[in-house]
A and B are shown apart, each in its own frame.
Chain A
Amino acid sequence: DIQMTQSPSSLSASVGDRVTITCRASQGIGDSLAWYQQRPGKVPNLLIYAASTLQSGVPSRFSGRGSGTDFTLTISSLQPEDVATYYCQKYISAPFTFGPGTKVDIK
């Protein structure tokens, strides 16, 4: 099975900072990758699918890039409401594995 890893596992940044999270697949998955945000105590929220397509209603400060095995999620200007854990997930084929998550805090 294809394994998903994320780095860093956690980060702390200031409001307004540019933040980048990396997701890596153990084998190529094309662009079959989604990113989710899970705020504390809330259900996950789809941010990006097809590696770089912004889900409707998601602020434009979120962006995704990558294909094959290496992907990034970037928050161009971190806001207080962005405090959350971010997960990548592959869907090219089952199992539709999630990454372990990256916890983002405000410094």
Chain B
Amino acid sequence: EVQLVESGGGLVQPGGSLRLSCAASGFTLSTYAMTWVRQAPGEGLEWVSTISGSGDSGTYYAESVKGRFTISRDNSNNTLYLQMNSLRTEDTAVYSCAKDNREGPPRAFDVWGQGTMVTVSS
């Protein structure tokens, strides 16, 4: 069964850092583009960052997180990461990882994790 499980969320002060993890099972992480999406309480979906699949490790970021967040993956552990630095109150949201529905360039997301809550507050 294809599954994604996030961890690493929590309460952090403004200006702080967190690293989110997304453990993948049932498929080879490196083959697919992988994405982080966030959803603030009561709000819509916001695309955060994508890392391309095999043969192309390009990374892409929303303007709101560029220069502060870094997406990466450990293919040996089949785990996706999101390093979040200089956190702001507006980064408060549930962060979910999602798998692309096909190999190749980023497209649509067919498997989603349950998400991990990040709260940025003093």
In whole angstroms, what is the CA distance A5 to B46 when docked?
14
Contact mask for chain A residues 33-73; partner B; CB cutoff 8 A; 1 contact, 0 none: 01010100001111001000001000000000000000000
Q: Given A44-B45, A96-B35, is A55 in contact with B110 using a C-beta cutoff of 8 Å?
A: yes
Contact assessment for A98 and B110 in the assembled complex, using a CB-CB cutoff below 8 Å: no
In whole angstroms, what is the CA distance A55 to B46 when docked?
22
Contact assessment for A49 and B50 in the assembled complex, using a CB-CB cutoff below 8 Å: no
In whole angstroms, what is the CA distance A85 to B107 when docked?
20
Contact assessment for A101 and B60 in the assembled complex, using a CB-CB cutoff below 8 Å: no
Sorting the interface of chain B by its residue count into under 10, 10 to 19, 20 to 34 or 35 or more gives 20 to 34
- Size of the chain A interface, CB-CB below 8 angstroms: 23
Q: Given A34-B108, A91-B106, A96-B50, is A101 in contact with B44 using a C-beta cutoff of 8 Å?
A: yes
Q: Given A49-B101, A55-B101, A98-B44, is A91 in contact with B96 using a C-beta cutoff of 8 Å?
A: no
CB-contact partner of A96 in B47, B110, B112, under 8 A:
B47
Any A CB within 8 A of the CB of B53? no
CB-contact partner of A44 in B60, B63, B109, under 8 A:
B109
Whose C-beta in chain A lies nearest to the C-beta of B47? A96
Contact mask for chain B residues 35-76; partner A; CB cutoff 8 A; 1 contact, 0 none: 101000000111100100000000011110000000000000
Whose C-beta in chain B lies nearest to the C-beta of A96? B47
Q: Given A43-B114, A49-B107, A89-B108, is A95 in contact with B63 using a C-beta cutoff of 8 Å?
A: yes
In whole angstroms, what is the CA distance A9 to B37 when docked?
21
CB-contact partner of A34 in B61, B62, B107, under 8 A:
B107
Contact assessment for A91 and B107 in the assembled complex, using a CB-CB cutoff below 8 Å: yes
Contact assessment for A94 and B45 in the assembled complex, using a CB-CB cutoff below 8 Å: no
Residues in A whose Cβ lies below 8 Å from that of B37: 44, 98
Contact assessment for A46 and B44 in the assembled complex, using a CB-CB cutoff below 8 Å: no
In whole angstroms, what is the CA distance A95 to B61 when docked?
7
Which of A46, A87, A99 neighbours the largest number of chain B CB atoms within 10 Å of its CB?
Answer: A46
- Residue ranges of A at the interface with B (Cβ–Cβ < 8 Å): 1, 32, 34, 36, 38, 43-46, 49, 55, 85, 87, 89, 91, 94-101
A-B contacts besides A94-B61, A98-B46, 10 pairs, CB < 8 Å: A43-B113, A44-B37, A44-B98, A44-B109, A45-B112, A49-B107, A55-B110, A89-B47, A96-B106, A101-B45
